[in-house]
Amino acid sequence: RRDPQVLRLIRDFDQSGKLIAAICHGGWMPISAGVYRGVRVTGSPGIKDDLINAGATFEDAAVVIDRHFVSSRRPADLPDFCKGMLEVLENWSPR
């Protein structure tokens, strides 16, 4: 989350509508990239405040899909997380 190239890649993915997926504490990367403002997300309860402070709308759910963003809370949510990513990839088209 501190690497400028990684943050630029996340911003580029956001601008082109490509999948951005985060599970557990992975939400810190889109937070640092500044792409979560106005996005519905979930994540580890430990970063709930960080997500909210970044402008995201936090939901306590196994998976949250908002446009090209997919997020989950913990490893037990992996089946739903994977289905969410596949759903976004299946419906993706270049902007």
Residues forming the active site: 24-25
- CA dist 4 and 77 (Å) reads 29
Q: Which among 35, 84, 30, 8 has a CA at the least distance from the CA of 92?
A: 84
How far separated are the first and last CA of the chain, in Å rounded? Answer: 26
